[in-house]
Every structure is written in C-alpha cells, then in structure tokens.
Structure 1
Amino acid sequence: MYNGIGLTTPRGTGTSGHVVRNASALKPSQKHRRIERKERAPKPVDPSILEHERKRQVEIKCLFLQDELEEQGLEEAEVERRVGVLRQQLLSNLETASLPEAKLRSFETQRVRERKEKENERFARAMRIDKEHVEGEAFDPGAG
C-alpha cells in the first residue's frame, strides 16, 4: 500500500501490487483546451457535396416515378419519356431546391472528412513528415 492507495498485499490478486497514477484524469489546464475546441465555429460545407446530394435526391424521385409507372403497366418508352420530363424539371430547379435532409447528410460527410484530415495530420507529425513534402520526391534522381 502506498499513501493509502492500492492493495495491502498483492497475494492472490494476480497483480504485482505496483501502484500507477491515473493518466486519464484531466488537469485543469487541459479542461480549458477541451472547452475551447467545442466552442469553435463549424467549417463551411463543401458546395460540391451539397450539389451531389441534390442530384441524388432528383434521381431518387425519378426512380420512384419509374416504379410507379411500371406498376401501372405503361410501355417502357412512355415510362422513359415521363421520367425524362420529370428529371429535366427537377434539374432545372436544382439551384433553388432546398433539401434539409441532404444538408444533414452532407454535414455528416463533412465531419467524417474533418476527422480523417486530423488523423492524417497526427500521422504526419508522428512520422515527422514535413508539410512541404511532395509525394514521390524521394524517387526522383534530379530532385534535391
């Protein structure tokens, strides 16, 4: 036992009885850093992701219409024509369309991308890879 902490005797416990400090406890200075990280404003969402989500929603609506028309027993040429008309209408209104569900999904995608970027930065620091590093430069005989 050390300062009242630990076992009086390690016999029968399957441990050595060695007392170690709790490394998971946060120090007061670390708590402030965690709060500051949470208060940061989110990064803006990539517009190409939002555009892709809007186009995806258009295709989903077209597929629903196609299934509906095929169940009614219409000919394939007529089904394709009607779906094409709907697709053109929806794509012409693509910029003004507001898709809240798509925005939520894109934020999730954005968070995943940010997490991956942080992971890559940590790995680069661990491997001591310089930020100006050019991939494949080591194999170029003319490079410095």
Structure 2
Amino acid sequence: MYNGVGLTTARGSGTNGYVQTNMAFIRKSRLETKVKTDDDIRKMEAMLNRKPNQEILSHQAKRKVEVKVLELREAMEDDGKYDEEEIEAKCVTFREMLLNKEGFLDTVEAKSSRSNETHQLAAQNEMKNKKACSAFGIREDYKPGAAFTEGKKERLTSVVGE
C-alpha cells in the first residue's frame, strides 16, 4: 500500500509483483532510419581517402629528433663529465644520425596507434589501404566504381561475346 492507495500485499491479487519490460514496444529512434544521400557518402569517402600533409609529418619528425637531441644534451650536462664543445659535437652527430633515419621515424609515427593528429591518422589510413589493396591484388590505377561505367560494360560484353 502506498499513501493509503493500492493493495497491502500481492497475495491473492493474481500477481506476484514481478515487473517485466515490454519487449514488443518499438521506440521511435529505432523506427527512424537515416538514409544517407550520395553527397553524404562522397564526403565520407573523401574524409577516409584524404592524403596526409607530408610537410607537417616531416616537421613533427624533426621536432621529435630535436627533443631526443635536447634530452641527450641535458643528460650530458647533468653528468658533468663533458665540456661544452664535446657536448655540441656529440649532439651534432646524434642529430645527423637521427635525421638520416627520418624515414624510420615516419614509419614509427605512422604505426603509432595513440596518435591523435589528423595527418598521422591519414598516414595510418593510407598505409592500411595500401596493405589491403596489395592483399586483395587491387591495381594502383583502379578507380572505384569504374566497373559500372557504360564503356567498361560494353568492353566486357564484347570480350565475353567473342
């Protein structure tokens, strides 16, 4: 009983008090299906196939190299065993070594799964697409949807018909 209204017990009322949800009820959000237009699909594909800006990627790689060089410099200065000329010479050789391995840094950055930079994500997506294309044997000159053009259909039917 609640505020003097209702049954005092569930006994004898034909129910035990167990409440179930109505699984047959369909909510409005499930009824509304959002159909994507051709423009929406083109925009989504353009976002997926966007090329990374190589200048930004190389700048980020160079910044990472400079951070490593500064870490080496600080470690050598804190150690106190080296004079300024020796530190500078070792930093220059270390920088040159890392810059020669710049392609290696780019691939490491592109494979990084924690990257939130849009250009890094675009580079990752490009690498993933290249892997998938090579796995499925898709040529480099393939254009999506080209098989559905009239000229291609006519060429295929003429080859099959002969």
- TM-score normalised by the chain length of structure 1: 0.46
Ranked by relative contact order (alpha carbons within 8 Å, sequence separation 6 or more), the top structure is: 2
More helix by share: 2
Which structure has the greater CA radius of gyration? 2
- TM-score normalised by the chain length of structure 2: 0.42
